[in-house]
Amino acid sequence: MTDSDTVVDWDEIAESWGRAFPAAYQRFIAIYGAGMIEDYLVIGTPEPWVDPPDGDGADMRAGTAFARVL
């Protein structure tokens, strides 16, 4: 098994989100990287938190901001 080519600065991610992402997710990304499973489940590359962008809301930041309001 080879490591993925998805590069993530986990320290930057943890600092911007105010918490570390789960170790299992970090290991999954390290091994498999971002992509799709069976053309259905999207595994995204983590992005640093910023205020939700204007636009279609189809990214991790906007989805998380929406979930935090619920």
24: pLDDT confidence band, cut at 50, 70 and 90? Answer: very high
pLDDT tens, residue by residue, 26-60:
999 999 999 999 999 999 888 888 765 555 556 66
d(CA 38, CA 53): 29
Alpha-carbon distance 43 to 54, whole Å? 22
pTM score, two decimals? 0.66
Q: pLDDT at position 49, please?
A: 80
